[in-house]
Amino acid sequence: MEEEIWRLEGRFRFGDLLTQLLRTDAFAEEIPHPREDLIRALFLPSVRAGIPSRMDLFPLVELPDPLPPHTEARIFHERTHYWQYLASPLLQQRFFLELEKIAIGVARAGGDREQILASRPPEDPAGVFRLMVATEADCSWFDLRDTHLLGGQQVDFPLGTFQVLYARPNDLGVTYGYGAALELPDGQTALVPFTALALAESASQVAECASSGKPPPRLERNTPGEVRYYGCWEYWRRLHGGRVRNERALVAGFLAAVDLALTGGYPAADERDPEMIRELRSIPYRFGKLAFRAQAFEFPEVDEADPGEAVERFQRDMCAWAAWPEPKTTFARSAVMLTKLLAVGLGRRPLLEYGLPEDDYGRLWVSDESNLAGELDALAPVWRAISVAALADRPRPVGFEMAGMMLNAMHHRIRHPGRFAVPHLYRAELTEEFPLPLLLLDGIYCVDRALENQETVFRNRPYVGNALKVAKDTMQLVPLLPLADGADRCGFYDAPMMRATCLYGRAGLGCPKAGLTEAQRRTRLEHEIGDWCHWEFAARKTGIRR
């Protein structure tokens, strides 16, 4: 039984999000495509015009309106994933560790690691990898086949249902986590690890169904896809469905618990209790504790004027019972760390030039996160200077705009607690303020329709940014993503399919990094493009030697 339990991969990385979630290719046949000659008419001159000034110019087209219902639902599902990453401190930290690995890859390729938003000293690459191993162990990001069951607790349900505790050996010792063993109507047993991937996919699927007014699907078959999308919800429904008859509350409780699991917490400096550290830092362990403890709590009532407040009370009460820091405290500490990272990305001199008093700059570094988190208003001068420098078009490292959007998400969570946890109830608000930076449809770059009504800057936010800035940041980041794994290729190149998934590939220009056909070389020569592409732009920006 042990050999069959953990077949699902536990990997959930921001790089995967950027290269996969933004693709709506699965539904491409449902959406009318722009004409091929129009794509070329827009794209090829843009590329040629940008090369002399080393600019990466590319057209963004609007999605048709209305979209087919299936595609509309899919895009909301992907928006939910984007919001999970923007607003979940544990996932944010994972993203910045990926940036650290990319920065190491850039340096090894002869480039300037300071062009990547990374904060650890360049002389300590081993420290980055140790931290990556620790994070992967704590959060069980990867395949869980090599695990051992330590025991389980049975749930009162007609079909056999257990919450199980597992131990997984790793380079740092042993990782502990929770999962579920679920008997299905056909007699098979589905085994569900509470990894970040399984929780995020199940929560997004439940939110998607709730948004469209459909009941969340039941887990009826033991297939990897269904277990991934429905498994965690099925366990929650079996555990709590008997006492919570209102499915809206059952859904809200599940989404609030997943959100709280992905939020995590910061152990106190003198914390030595391994149990508490696991509850704060390990996603599979934390959700297992949340799921069982939730039996003692009333679920959020979403019929209130502001359901987010009910969600906040539910999360706050559970944290108080478990002696965990409140979510607002964790969001505030994350906001402080993001502010410091943005300040590092711009540098001291530009911030002082753009109006930051020397005392405020110094206070940012001499106070620890817990002190600053208690008085976030003290960071307002730093936020203003960062935004003014950004508006002045100061050079910024790759990943900067995404970090700025994460800071805005933390600010939103502090001011409007609970709303990110139940995105189907705040769909219009979250979509307007945090739209997807772009969608990749068969190699065409489409803008989220929410951008039509979005102003150039966000009002009342710490960082002055918008989704179009994040889109440009993303287009620099995606080509470099393979460097995090030591691979010498472009993130837009699909190796199994042997094709470039970007607009260069769609326009018949191929991938110079992977090698060009004679026809692709002739087309590039005809349009005076040479080897220019998204990879070439990112490589020149970072100084990578090809």
Q: What is the mean pLDDT of the chain?
A: 84
Residue 121's pLDDT band, with cuts at 50, 70 and 90, is low
* CA gap 59, 322 in Å, rounded: 50
Residue tagged 């540098």 (tokens): 347
What pLDDT, on a 0 to 100 scale, did the predictor assign at position 200? 92
In which domain, by residue range, is 283 found?
136-325
Phi, psi of 459 (to 5 degrees): -85, 145
* CA gap 367, 383 in Å, rounded: 16
Residue 146's pLDDT band, with cuts at 50, 70 and 90, is low
What pLDDT, on a 0 to 100 scale, did the predictor assign at position 163? 94
**AA letter at 120:** R
Q: Are the beta carbons of 157 and 243 closer than 8 angstroms? A: no
Six token digits for residue 261: 């699991």
Helix (H, G, I), strand (E, B) or coil at 215: coil
SS (H, E, C) 451-509: HHHCCCCCCCCCCCCCHHHHHHHHHHHHHHHHHHHCCCCCCCEECCCCEECCHHHHCCC
Residue 100 predicted with pLDDT over 90:
no
Q: Are the beta carbons of 122 and 107 closer than 8 angstroms? A: yes
Q: Give residue-wise pLDDT tens across range 381-396.
A: 999 999 999 888 888 9
Flag whether 37 is in a domain. Answer: no
Flag whether 35 is in a domain. Answer: no
Radius of gyration of the chain, Cα coordinates, nearest whole angstrom: 23
Residue 3 predicted with pLDDT over 90:
no
What pLDDT, on a 0 to 100 scale, did the predictor assign at position 1? 34
Residue 63 DSSP symbol: P
Strands 444-447 vs 439-441: parallel, antiparallel or unpaired: antiparallel
Residue 416 predicted with pLDDT over 70:
yes
Greater pLDDT, 57 or 458: 57
Six token digits for residue 443: 């190699």
Flag whether 307 is in a domain. Answer: yes
Strands 444-447 vs 61-62: parallel, antiparallel or unpaired: parallel
Flag whether 229 is in a domain. Answer: yes
Q: Give residue-wise pLDDT tens across range 175-207.
A: 788 999 999 999 999 989 898 889 999 999 999
Flag whether 200 is in a domain. Answer: yes
Residue 456 predicted with pLDDT over 70:
no
Q: Are the beta carbons of 383 and 339 closer than 8 angstroms? A: yes
Pick the range with the lowest mean pLDDT from 105-119, 137-151, 451-465: 137-151
The gap from C-alpha 452 to its chain's centroid, in whole angstroms, comes to: 23
Mean pLDDT computed over 373-388:
90
* CB environment 170-199: b (16+ within 10 A), e (fewer): beeeebbbbbbbbbbeeeeebbbbbbbbbb
Q: Which of 157, 132, 116 is nearest to 542 (CA)?
A: 116
Phi, psi of 503 (to 5 degrees): -70, -25
Six token digits for residue 330: 């964790």
Residues contacting 58, CB < 8 A, separation 6+: 43, 46, 47, 445, 475, 503, 534
**AA letter at 313:** R
Q: Give residue-wise pLDDT tens across range 255-268.
A: 999 999 999 998 88
What pLDDT, on a 0 to 100 scale, did the predictor assign at position 4? 37
**Residue % of the chain over a pLDDT of 90:** 47
Residue 367's pLDDT band, with cuts at 50, 70 and 90, is confident
What pLDDT, on a 0 to 100 scale, did the predictor assign at position 135? 57
Greater pLDDT, 368 or 247: 247
Number of independent structural domains in the chain: 1
Question: Around Cβ 372, how many Cβ atoms within 10 Å?
Answer: 21
Consecutive H or E run containing 359: helix 358-366
Mean pLDDT computed over 245-251:
90
Flag whether 270 is in a domain. Answer: yes
Flag whether 101 is in a domain. Answer: no
Residue 244's pLDDT band, with cuts at 50, 70 and 90, is confident
What pLDDT, on a 0 to 100 scale, did the predictor assign at position 443? 77
Residue 271 predicted with pLDDT over 80:
yes
Residue 407 predicted with pLDDT over 80:
yes
Flag whether 310 is in a domain. Answer: yes
Greater pLDDT, 247 or 10: 247
What pLDDT, on a 0 to 100 scale, did the predictor assign at position 142? 41
Mean pLDDT computed over 115-134:
64
Residue 480 predicted with pLDDT over 90:
yes
